[in-house]
Structure 1
């Protein structure tokens, strides 16, 4: 059962099981920006499918379109609807805290999905469901360092770093994980520059084009996700710059294909389907008074050209 209707500044999709329970849990979700990349598009489809398969769930599915003000309005709309729980994929980990506080004061448990809010808002959150982004960044640093050691350039390699959207917790945490871990495992490797790619392939290609003009010597590129990483790869290919090691996080299908072609070295394997299903189940468990950890992580292993055969190609 699907019904479209208009809310303030947004459109909502209500999804429920085909035989909805009279006591169905009404769970609202406000997402970051569904149209920005295939990960978020796949996440939304998986979330709706999981909600529709559960007769005890009625889901109100919203998309903030990357707009903090819209997301805050969506949280307030969900509070007015008196939903039983709110899931939020924050557009900005700091800016959404007042809205999350309002939900908490209204007695509505809040589950943060995929990208956590800032620590100042933790008291207003029932649980975070998603990847450990600091660990992902650290694992990406290990992947890059291991490759540099194999190549014999770990004492001199120079790296550029393309981050996600400024102010976005995932971008901040992946950057921190990478930048903290790299000097621990490869102390002589230098990060020569860092610029945001905003999770956008075209912008990341432009960022990399500028790096290639500015720096004659680039041995590695770390990108906060494969969408940006492949944008950087495209810039290097167009410029005829060979021998650069590309490492990302969140292995997109384009990253997987580039790894198979021998052009992209490694990434972190993360499923948007697992992400979406885990968020919904966490909300259900909270509403059923189950013991749920505050940081409810799912595993995201390393994937490189060497072991990619152990993993199926991502669907996003």
Structure 2
């Protein structure tokens, strides 16, 4: 097994990419272009798990690339992988719409594309072999249920006001988690009011600043929904500094170690449990299954259950 993180033809087996996928191969070269490994610990752990999974498979060679959050760089990486004639490409999109032409180009070159973690926009689905990752809309919906159940337990479901800190604008995961939450909340708690949404860009420091502004603007905030725990803990830190954390229910949509620790401390109520290791291993296996000609669902989701202070003992602390 060989791993490359450079723009280079990693091995002679990359030439096998000229054959139609689904044919039996003795080995595959699979390229991956990631979103932004340095932006948070989830993506860092994902990359480590992906490389570890590839190292355990003697029939797989991988080219591991990172776009650094730059759409233009990711498109260039897609084109480079096409030129290398890899057997399959896994993409964690920096932008669900902007990468579609590059995904189409790979499809036209008979290179199957697997989208991982965050799907591309629907108009690009015809060029994708499979999506592997979480169901972000379901995650958002489950977060709304966690929030609503908490308000009902507190007896404030008829008057509660909440704010939302969403992820990076234009990023499919951010869009879908917000949609899942916003669609589900009025179904389960019709009298709860979402007063404002602002992006936190998956960044804890920015989310803390967003929450500071919310606290100045609104005297009454009963809940905060954040697109992940990294942002949620940023909001928690702002509320703690203002002396208002005890009055607010904090709910995230991907449980990070900092969120788990804050839950254990009784400061953060709940989130959605999602493993970057499962995410990475599922993406690699999906690519292999597609190349092997197996019947792979277009939307290949793995489960992401609810986690709250009430059931957190059933889950291990996240490693990211």
* TM-score interval, normalised by the smaller of the two chains: over 0.9
Report if the CA contact (8 A) 2:33-2:92 is conserved: yes
Q: How many aligned positions are there? A: 306
Report if the CA contact (8 A) 2:165-2:197 is conserved: yes
* TM-score normalised to structure 1 length: 0.95
Answer yes or no: is 1:210 the counterpart of 2:213.
yes
Aligned equivalent of 1:19: none
Answer yes or no: is 1:24 the counterpart of 2:31.
no
SS at structure 2 position matched to 1:36: coil
**Distance in 2 between the 1:5 and 1:310 partners?**
37
Aligned equivalent of 2:71: 68
Answer yes or no: is 1:303 the counterpart of 2:318.
no
Matches within 5 A, 1:65-104: 65-104=68-107
**Distance in 2 between the 1:211 and 1:198 partners?**
16
Report if the CA contact (8 A) 2:4-2:63 is conserved: no
Q: 1:119 aligns with which of 108, 122, 128?
A: 122
SS at structure 2 position matched to 1:35: coil
**Distance in 2 between the 1:171 and 1:3 partners?**
31
Matches within 5 A, 1:106-185: 106-185=109-188
Contiguous gaps of at least 5 residues in structure 1:
16-21
- Cα drift, residue 207 of structure 1: 0.3
Report if the CA contact (8 A) 1:42-1:273 is conserved: yes
Answer yes or no: is 1:256 the counterpart of 2:260.
yes
Aligned equivalent of 2:271: 267
Q: Deviations over 1:3-31 (max 9, x none)?
A: 65643xxxx7969xxxxxx9320000000
Aligned equivalent of 1:194: 197
Answer yes or no: is 1:243 the counterpart of 2:247.
yes
Aligned equivalent of 1:39: 42
Greater RCO (Cα-Cα under 8 Å, separation 6 or more): 2
**Distance in 1 between the 2:9 and 2:57 partners?**
16
**Distance in 1 between the 2:124 and 2:104 partners?**
7
* TM-score normalised to structure 2 length: 0.94
**Distance in 1 between the 2:6 and 2:282 partners?**
27
- Cα drift, residue 105 of structure 1: 0.2
**Distance in 2 between the 1:145 and 1:269 partners?**
18
Q: Deviations over 1:179-200 (max 9, x none)?
A: 0000000000000010000000
SS at structure 1 position matched to 2:165: strand
Q: Please, what is the CA RMSD of the aligned residues?
A: 1.4
SS at structure 2 position matched to 1:299: coil
**Distance in 1 between the 2:254 and 2:196 partners?**
22
**Distance in 1 between the 2:28 and 2:115 partners?**
17
Q: 1:291 aligns with which of 292, 295, 299?
A: 295
SS at structure 1 position matched to 2:250: strand
SS at structure 1 position matched to 2:114: strand
Contiguous gaps of at least 5 residues in structure 2:
12-24
Q: 1:222 aligns with which of 221, 225, 230?
A: 225
Q: 1:278 aligns with which of 266, 274, 282?
A: 282
